[in-house]
Amino acid sequence: MAKIIDGKQISSAMLDTVAAEVAALKAQNIEPCLAVILVGEDPASQVYVRNKQRACERVGIRSVSHILPVDTTQQELLDLIGSLNADPSVHGILCQLPLPAHLDAQQLLLAIAPEKDVDAFHPVNVGKITIGNAKLLPCTPAGVMEMLRYEGISPAGKHCVVLGRSNIVGKPMALLLLAADGTVTVCHSKTPDLAAETRRADILVSAVGKRGLITADMVKPGAVVIDVSINRGEDGKLCGDADFEAVSRVASAVTPVPGGVGPMTIAMLMRNTVTAAKAQNGID
C-alpha cells in the first residue's frame, strides 16, 4: 500500500516556520500584510478567502480583505490595486479568481506590482520562474515541490509527467520539476494516448479536474502520485482525478483529496507574503 502524503501535517510544519519568521520580522517593526480582493459572492471563492484569512491569523500576518459587490467596475478595481501597490504597509496583493465575466482578469493581474504579486501570476514573475531566479513561486506547484522535498522524493533523474497545462498549475509545475532536474512530459486534452504517458511516470502530477481520470492501470508500480485536482464525487464529497483506493495499491506514495495539495497552497501563500515583506524591506 502506498504511503499517504499528509498535506495537513506538512503544511502545519511550514506554517510554524512562517509564524517564527513573522515574529522575527515584527521584532524589527515589520508587520507582513496581505491584501485580498474578492469580487462577488461565488461560494467557493468565499471559502478560499476565509481559509486564507484564517492562515494569516495563525501565522500572525495582517490580512486586509476588500470584499466588493459583483458589479464593481474594472476601473474601480484598477484604482484599488493602484492604491495597494502604493501602500508600503501592504506587502502582498491577491485578487481571488475567478472574477465576474465583465472584468478583464489579465489586465488586473498585470496591474499588481510584481514584488507584491504573491500568487506569482504576473508575467515578470512567470519569466523569473522560467529563468530560474524567482523569489515568489506559484503557490500550488511550489506546494507540491515542498511536499516532495519533505518526503525525501527528489525529481532529479526521474521521469515526471504533468497532466494539465494551465498557467496556474500545469505549466509552472512542469518548470519547477524541470528546475529540480526531472525529465518532464506535459500532457493535455489533445494528448493522444494519456495512459501510455502516465505509465512512464516515476512522479505523476495530475491537475486536470476530472474525477476518475487516473485508474490503477495507468500508474507505474512504485510511482509517486500527486493529485492536485479538487472535484466533487457523485456522493457530493471532494475527490481528485485519481481513483484513490485503487491507485494506492500500485503507487509508492499518493496525496489524498482533501488533505493533500490544498493545504500546501495556502501555506505557500503565507510563505510568499513573508518573502515579499522581507524583500520590500531590504531583507534577503
Residues that bind ligand NAP (CB under 6 A): 140, 163-166, 168-170, 187-191, 194, 207-210, 228-231, 261-262, 265
Choice among 8, 71, 75, 96 that is catalytic? 96
Shortest Cβ 105–ligand NAP spacing (Å): 12
Q: Is 135 a catalytic residue?
A: no
Q: Please, are residues 231 and 240 in contact by the beta-carbon 8 Å criterion? A: yes
Q: Which amino acid is at 273?
A: T
Given the complex with ligand NAP, which of 30 and 120 has the nearer CB atom?
Answer: 120
Given the complex with ligand NAP, which of 197 and 278 has the nearer CB atom?
Answer: 197
Q: Is 96 a catalytic residue?
A: yes
How many residues in total does the chain contain? Answer: 284
Shortest Cβ 204–ligand NAP spacing (Å): 12
DSSP E strands in the chain: the ranges are 3-4, 33-39, 62-68, 92-95, 159-163, 183-187, 203-206, 224-227, 231-232, 238-239, 253-254
Given the complex with ligand NAP, which of 11 and 63 has the nearer CB atom?
Answer: 11
Shortest Cβ 210–ligand NAP spacing (Å): 6
Shortest Cβ 227–ligand NAP spacing (Å): 9
Given the complex with ligand NAP, which of 182 and 262 has the nearer CB atom?
Answer: 262
Choice among 117, 119, 227, 241 that is catalytic? 119
Shortest Cβ 209–ligand NAP spacing (Å): 3
Q: Is 107 a catalytic residue?
A: no
Q: Is the peptide bond before 258 cis (omega within 30 degrees of 0)?
A: yes
Q: Which residues contact 229 (CB under 8 A, 6 or more apart)?
A: 206, 207, 208, 209, 210, 211, 240, 241, 257
Given the complex with ligand NAP, which of 35 and 144 has the nearer CB atom?
Answer: 144
Taking the C-alpha atoms of residue 136 and residue 121, their distance in angstroms, rounded to an integer, is 10
DSSP string, 66-112: EEE-TT--HHHHHHHHHHHHH-TT--EEEEPSSPPTTS-HHHHHHHS
Active site residues: 52, 96, 119
